[in-house]
Chain A
Amino acid sequence: DIQMTQSPSSLSASVGDKVTITCRASQGIRNELAWYQQKPGEAPKRLIYAVSTLQSGVPSRFTGSGSGTEFTLTISSLQPEDFATYYCLQHNSWYTFGQGTKLEIK
């Protein structure tokens, strides 16, 4: 099984800040990584797929990068609507989500 270790588990930041969330895979997963945003009471929404491809309609302040076993999601300038929980997902070998990062307003 491929394990996904996501960090940090929580993060406090202010509007306008730049934040980075990291996911590490227990083995190489090529480019088979996606990022999701989830707000309370809602289903997850895909932001990025194939490591760095932005989902249609997602603002360009979201960027994904990485390779092999280490991947990052960066939000360049936080907006009020970005405060949510973020998950990575690997789909190289079945599907495993990271534990989540709760992004809170400082």
Chain B
Amino acid sequence: QVQLPQWGAGLLKPSETLSLTCAVSGGSFSGYYWSWIRQPPGKGLEWIGETDHSGTTNYNPSLKSRVTISVDASKNQFSLKLSSVTAADTAVYYCARGPKIYVSGWSWGSFDYWGQGTLVTVSS
């Protein structure tokens, strides 16, 4: 059973840096990409970025200048940092598994397991 507990600070002031971590238990850590996705209150879902176990990352162009996703493969954990936050960054942030990485290096698939979500509020 794959589980993705996540944690991090839930209340930030404008201009601060958001920091969240997600741990992976069960399943293969090296066999997937690992993503961060967010959802503003009452709104839809937005993909933020992803990492594989080696630290190869891909980011949503709309957030790329402020996002860093890092990995600690020795602990099966990955983390999100989002700098210079504003009220517009207030959202529930989820970590998720997917896509699968095949032996050839090709990756394919959607998000099958999700963390429980962390509400991050940005307010002065």
Contact bitstring A67-106, B, C-beta under 8 A = 1, else 0: 0000000000000000000010101001111111000000
Min CB distance, B87 to chain A, in Å? 21
Min CB distance, B120 to chain A, in Å? 15
Within 8 A of B (CB), among A9-56: 32, 34, 42-46, 49, 55
| A55 to B111 CA separation, bound complex (whole angstroms) | 11
Given the contacts A91-B99, A94-B60, A49 and B110 also touching, CB distance less than 8 Å: yes
Min CB distance, A93 to chain B, in Å? 11
| A96 to B110 CA separation, bound complex (whole angstroms) | 11
Closest residue of A by beta carbon distance from B61: A1
Most buried by A among B98, B108, B110: B110
A91→B109 contact, CB < 8 A? yes
The reply to whether the CB of B58 lies closer than 8 angstroms to some CB of chain A is: yes
The reply to whether the CB of B19 lies closer than 8 angstroms to some CB of chain A is: no
B114→A44 contact, CB < 8 A? yes
Contact stretch, chosen from B9-17, B41-49, B65-73, B74-82: B41-49
Min CB distance, A19 to chain B, in Å? 19
Provide the residues of chain A in CB contact with B83, threshold 8 Å.
none
B109→A97 contact, CB < 8 A? no
Provide the residues of chain A in CB contact with B109, threshold 8 Å.
49, 91
A43→B44 contact, CB < 8 A? no
Given the contacts A43-B116, A94-B58, A87 and B47 also touching, CB distance less than 8 Å: no
Other 5 A-B pairs with CB < 8 A, given A46-B112, A91-B109: A32-B108, A44-B114, A49-B110, A95-B47, A95-B111
Chain A contact residues, CB within 8 Å of chain B: 1, 32, 34, 42-46, 49, 55, 87, 89, 91, 94-100
Chain B contact residues, CB within 8 Å of chain A: 35, 44-47, 58, 60-61, 94, 98-99, 108-112, 114-117
